[in-house]
Amino acid sequence: MDNSGVIAIAGVVGTLLSPVITRVLDERSFERRMLAKRGETVEEREHKATLDARDKARALR
């Protein structure tokens, strides 16, 4: 069984997705740097967002 077609398709898909993946990683790095300047971590920020969402859900009840 010849897998060269599958490998070629995977290469093309990887090439097409590379800029998207790079942008997502760059945005995540930027977010981490901005939070670090404020003395926060991503985990703390996500925890705070979870608590805020929970409070909003309670307020709607």
**Tens-digit pLDDT profile for the chain (61 aa)?**
578 888 899 999 989 999 888 888 888 888 888 888 888 888 888 899 999 999 999 998 8
What is the pLDDT at residue 41?
85
Quick one: pLDDT at residue 1? Answer: 56
**Secondary structure, 3-state, 1-57:** CCCHHHHHHHHHHHHHHHHHHHHHHHHHHHHHHHHHHCCCCHHHHHHHHHHHHHHHH
